[in-house]
Amino acid sequence: MSRFEPTANDYALAWLRAAVGVLFLIFAQYKVFGNQFIYGGGFIAWIHQFLQAGAYPFMRPVLVGFVLPHARIVAFIVGYGELCIGMALTLGVFVRPASFFGVIYMALLLFASNYPGPHAPLWQYFGASLNHLVLGLCFAAFGMSNAGRVWSLPSYLRKKYGSAEHEQEAANEPYSYVSNTFGK
C-alpha cells in the first residue's frame, strides 16, 4: 500500500470532520439567516443565562465588561464564525485554521457556561463540560491530522486535475503537503 492511498482512519476522520461541519452549519444557519440571534436579543439572552447558570469566575468580568457592551458585534462574529467553521470542515478546506478557531471557540464556551461550582470534585468539571469538551477535542484532532485528505474539495480537485508525477515529486521532498508528513 502506498502512503498516498487513503486508509480506513482517513475515511473515519473525514466522516467525523464532515459531521462536525454539518453540525456547525446547522448551528450557524439560524444565527446568520434569522434576525433573532443577532438583532432580536437571542445572543444577549444566552449571555445572561451563562452568567446566571455557570460562567467560570474569571469569565464573568469578560462577559459583563466586554461581551455584553459589544453584544451585536460579538453575536455577528459568533454566527459567521460558526458558518465559516462549518463550511471549512464540511468542504475539507482550511481545516487546520478552522480547527484552531474551533478549539478557541469551544474553550470560550466551556469557560462561559460550564462551571460546576467552587467545591465540585474534579470529575464534575469534566462532566459539566462534555458538550463543549468533546467538540474541542474533535477540533484538536482535526488540527493535528490531515483531516482534509479524503472526502474534501482539495482531494477532489487533486484527483481531477492532479497528476501522479506531482505526487511522486512530493514524495521525494522532506515535507509533503500531500501526505502531511515529514520524510517517508
pLDDT in tens, 66-85: 999 999 999 999 999 999 99
Segment 125-164, tens digit of pLDDT: 999 899 899 999 999 999 999 888 899 998 888 888 875 5
Identify the CA nearest to 114 among candidates 138, 141, 132, 137.
132
Average pLDDT of the chain is 89
For 105, the 3-state DSSP assignment is helix
Among 42-46, 146-150, 166-170, 175-179, the least confident range = 175-179
Residue 128: φ, ψ to 5°: -70, -20
125 within some domain: yes
- Structurally, the chain folds into a number of domains equal to 1
Q: Provide the pLDDT for residue 110.
A: 95
> pTM of the full predicted structure?
0.84
Residues of the chain with pLDDT > 90, as a percent, come to 72
Quote the domain boundaries for residue 76: 8-148
164 within some domain: no
29 within some domain: yes
Residue 107 has pLDDT above 60, yes or no: yes
Among 15-19, 20-24, 118-122, the least confident range = 118-122
117 within some domain: yes
CA distances from 40 to 31, 64, 158 (A): 10, 19, 44
